[in-house]
Chains A and B, each alone.
Chain A
Amino acid sequence: MSHPTLAIGGTVFLPRSALRDLVTVLRKRGFTVIGPTQVEGVVALRPLTSGQELPRGVRDEQGPGHYRLVPGEPDLSFEYVVGPDSPKRKFFPPVLNLFQFHVDRESFVLDAGPPQVPKLAFLGVRPCELAAIKVQDHVFGADDPRTVRCESETYYCESRRESFLVAVNCTRPGGTCFCASMETGPAAKDGFDLALTELRQGFITAVGSVRGLEICHDLPVREPSGAELELAELKLHIAHEHMGCTLDTQGLKDLLDQSLDHPQWADVAKRCLSCGNCTMVCPTCFCSTVSDSTELAGPKVMRTRRWESCFTHQFSATTAGPVRNTIRGRYRHWLRHKLGTWWDQFGMSGCVGCGRCITWCPVGIDLTAEAAQIRAHSQNSVPPVEEAPV
Chain B
Amino acid sequence: MPPDPPASGKSPAPGNSASHSQEEAPRAAIRPRPKLAVYKFSSCDGCQLSLLNLEDELLDLVGAVEVAYFLEARRQVQPPPYDVGLVEGSISTPEEEDRIRQVRRDCRMLVTIGACATSGGIQALRNWADVGDYVAAVYAQPKYIHTLETATPIASHVFVDFELRGCPVNHGQLSELVSALLVGRKPNIPTHSLCVECKRRGCACLLVAHGEPCLGPITQAGCGALCPAAGRACYGCFGPMEQPNILSLGSRFLADGRSAREVKRALRQFNGYLEPFKQGSDHYERLEQGKH
Taking Cβ atoms with an 8 Å cutoff, the residues of A that contact B are 39-42, 44, 65-68, 84-85, 89, 94-95, 103, 270-277, 280-281, 291, 293-299, 306-307, 309, 311-314, 327, 359-364, 390
Contact = CB atoms under 8 A, between A and B. Distances in A.
Nearest to B243: A274
Interface in B182-204: 182-183, 185, 188, 190-193, 195-196, 199-204
B52 interface: no
Contact of A277 (B204, B217, B248): B217
A364 to B, nearest CB: 8
A309 B183 CA distance: 28
A359 B199 CA distance: 14
A91 to B, nearest CB: 15
Contacts of A65: 207-208, 252
A98 to B, nearest CB: 15
Interface of B: 1-3, 54, 57, 60-61, 64, 175-176, 178-180, 182-183, 185, 188, 190-193, 195-196, 199-205, 207-210, 214, 216-218, 231, 241-245, 248-249, 251-252
Contacts of B192: 276, 309, 311-314
A298 B179 CA distance: 9
A191 B264 CA distance: 50
Nearest to A103: B3
B217 A295 contact: no
B208 A362 contact: yes
A95 B193 contact: no
B252 A280 contact: no
A280 B54 CA distance: 30
Contacts of B179: 293-296
Contacts of A306: 200
A296 B64 contact: yes
Most buried by A among B180, B191, B201, B202: B202
A293 B176 contact: yes
A307 B196 contact: yes
24 contacts: A39-B204, A41-B204, A94-B201, A272-B245, A273-B193, A275-B196, A276-B196, A277-B199, A280-B196, A293-B188, A294-B2, A294-B179, A294-B185, A295-B57, A296-B61, A296-B64, A296-B175, A298-B3, A299-B3, A312-B190, A312-B192, A312-B242, A327-B243, A362-B195
A44 B199 contact: no
Contacts of B64: 296, 298
B3 A362 contact: no
Contacts of B209: 40-42, 67-68
Contact of A271 (B185, B241, B248): B248
Contacts of B243: 274, 313, 327, 390
Given A271-B248, A297-B57, A298-B1, A276 B204 contact: no
Contact of B188 (A40, A271, A291, A312): A291
B208 A67 contact: yes
Contacts of B241: 275
A359 B204 CA distance: 13
B242 A363 contact: no
Contacts of A40: 203-204, 209, 231
A41 B211 CA distance: 11
A306 B197 CA distance: 10
B190 A277 contact: no
Contacts of A299: 2-3
A297 to B, nearest CB: 4
Contacts of A85: 202
B200 A44 contact: no
A272 B248 contact: yes
B18 to A, nearest CB: 19
Given A271-B248, A312-B190, A84 B178 contact: no
B191 A313 contact: yes
A21 B71 CA distance: 64
A277 B205 contact: yes
A296 B199 contact: no
B26 to A, nearest CB: 13
A275 B188 contact: no
B204 A297 contact: no
Contact of B204 (A84, A291, A311): A84
Contact of B218 (A84, A273, A295, A313): A273
B2 A298 contact: yes
Contacts of B251: 363
B3 to A, nearest CB: 4
Contact of B202 (A44, A294, A298): A44
Centre residue among A42, A94, A296, A364 by max chain B CB count within 10 A: A296
Nearest to B1: A298
Contacts of A66: 208
User: 5 closest Cβ contacts across the A-B interface?
Assistant: A280-B199, A94-B200, A275-B217, A312-B192, A40-B204
A299 B207 CA distance: 42
A360 B208 contact: yes
A360 B205 contact: yes
